[in-house]
Amino acid sequence: MRQFEADFRAFLGVPHAFAISSCTAALELSAVLCDLKPGDEVIVPAHTFAATAIPFARTGATLKWADIDPATRVVSPETIAPLINKKTKAIVVVHLYGLPCDMTRISALAKEHGIKLVEDAAQALGASADGELAGTFGDFSCFSFHGHKNISTLGEGGMLVVKSPQDAAKVPGLRHNGGRPYPDRGESYWIPAMSDVDFDIPGFWPYNFCIGEVQCALGSALLKRVAATSEKRKVRAQKFILALSEFKELTFQSTPKNCTHAWHLLPAQYDGSRFKKTRDDLIRTLAYEFGVQTVVQYYPLYRYPLFKKAGFGEASCPNTDRYFDNMLSFPFQEWMPEEEFELMIELTRKALTRLRS
């Protein structure tokens, strides 16, 4: 584990990184270390996986949903700023699909208002904004090594990056049942026990968010492949997008010139109104006529029963609504054989042509 943490610190260029059981666990610890209380507010993207928001709701804080930018499809300073008020204690950003948010400006916004900044970089390992890697801007940054991510530590795993040395000192105990060594035991090393157990945050009970050593060994090995993996995914994504460029009704995530994309997923927005067709028509045609199974991802969180019942069902996120209601995500596994990828391009072109008629 220590080797994996050291390798990750070196990869990202950060002083504190902690291997952990999952990205969700990293988000849980981030929420705890933000010292949130009932009455505080946390700004969270409305378009993301539910695990981004749940840890912050668990603290008793109020969730405020941020809309996405219609071109990049991630939150922006313009969608975050109107939500900031005296109750705002944290901003959570998600580098969704592998594209970093505008972190230079969002970081400046957080500092201006004295607000904690949390990066959910689960999908963006190796991506960058303004020459800095995703996960190096926030007070806390969370990474995932789930089986669906660009690199995986045997199905699950995560990393928590912490900026403050004071916060970093609390993580080992919070991560593993409050355990810590006894100081200066001298020759009688066995007295009083193998390790001590105490609170790292007064009154807050610790977790068990540990990760296995075999997972960490694999993580260290796969870190060496991040650049090559990202390049391969980039080439494929650009090939797919270029091959469909004549179909203006299908648009992809816009990558700003100051960003690099990790290309974790390949989502698109379909506007077939000119042809009196919908996103569902495209998915149905792809799946049942051409055998290409696309999916719809990241239901706006305020539409879920979980968040509605908790009082977080209200939002003003027109870009999120419009995007979700018209989006689809194409199969984009790294292991897909090239001939299958070429076939998917050909069949997608045929499906889009069919819907134009």
- With a cut of 90, say whether residue 187 has pLDDT above it: no
| 36 & 103 share domain | yes
Question: DSSP E strands: which ranges in 15-156?
Answer: 17-20, 41-45, 62-66, 88-94, 116-120, 128-129, 132-133, 140-144
- With a cut of 90, say whether residue 334 has pLDDT above it: no
| 216 & 339 share domain | no
Provide the pLDDT for residue 122. 98
Provide the pLDDT for residue 20. 97
| 30 & 178 share domain | yes
| 211 & 280 share domain | no
Band (343; pLDDT cuts 50, 70, 90) = very high
Let me know the angle formed at the C-alpha of 9 by 8 and 10, rounded to the nearest 5 degrees.
Answer: 90
Provide the pLDDT for residue 347. 98
Provide the pLDDT for residue 36. 97
Q: Give the separation between CA 245 and CA 251, rounded to whole angstroms.
A: 8
Stretch 199-210: mean pLDDT: 96
| 176 & 240 share domain | no
Residues forming beta bridges with residue 330, ordered by sequence position: 266
Band (227; pLDDT cuts 50, 70, 90) = very high
| 45 & 136 share domain | yes
- With a cut of 90, say whether residue 183 has pLDDT above it: no
Provide the pLDDT for residue 168. 98
Provide the pLDDT for residue 103. 98
Using the 3D structure, point to which of 168, 198, 223 is the last residue of a domain: 223
- β 116-120/140-144 pair status: parallel
| 15 & 37 share domain | yes
Provide the pLDDT for residue 188. 87
- With a cut of 90, say whether residue 310 has pLDDT above it: yes
CATH code for the domain in which residue 105 is found: 3.40.640.10
Let me know the angle formed at the C-alpha of 79 by 76 and 84, rounded to the nearest 5 degrees.
Answer: 110
Tens of pLDDT, residue by residue over 246-267, are 999 999 999 999 999 999 999 9
What is each CA distance from 155 to 24, 51, 169, 213, 220, in whole angstroms?
Answer: 14, 17, 28, 14, 15
Stretch 47-52: mean pLDDT: 98
Tens of pLDDT, residue by residue over 109-138, are 999 999 999 999 999 999 999 999 999 999
| 209 & 230 share domain | no
What is each CA distance from 344 to 61, 271, 293, in whole angstroms?
Answer: 45, 20, 10
| 334 & 277 share domain | yes
Q: Give the separation between CA 318 and CA 67, rounded to whole angstroms.
A: 7
Residue 256 belongs to what domain range?
Answer: 226-356
Residues forming beta bridges with residue 62, ordered by sequence position: 41
SS3 255: coil
Q: Give the separation between CA 271 and CA 46, rounded to whole angstroms.
A: 21
Stretch 308-318: mean pLDDT: 98
Stretch 155-161: mean pLDDT: 97
Q: Which of 274, 48, 200 is nearest to 56 (CA)?
A: 48
| 320 & 213 share domain | no
Provide the pLDDT for residue 55. 98
Using the 3D structure, point to which of 223, 256, 282 is the last residue of a domain: 223
| 189 & 238 share domain | no
Average pLDDT, the chain: 97
Band (189; pLDDT cuts 50, 70, 90) = confident
Which of 134-148, 182-196, 325-339 shows the lowest mean pLDDT across its residues? 182-196
| 59 & 171 share domain | yes
Using the 3D structure, point to which of 205, 223, 241 is the last residue of a domain: 223
Domains in the chain: how many in total?
2
Provide the pLDDT for residue 184. 80
Provide the pLDDT for residue 186. 81
Stretch 54-79: mean pLDDT: 98
- Report the percentage of the chain scoring pLDDT > 90: 96
- With a cut of 90, say whether residue 346 has pLDDT above it: yes
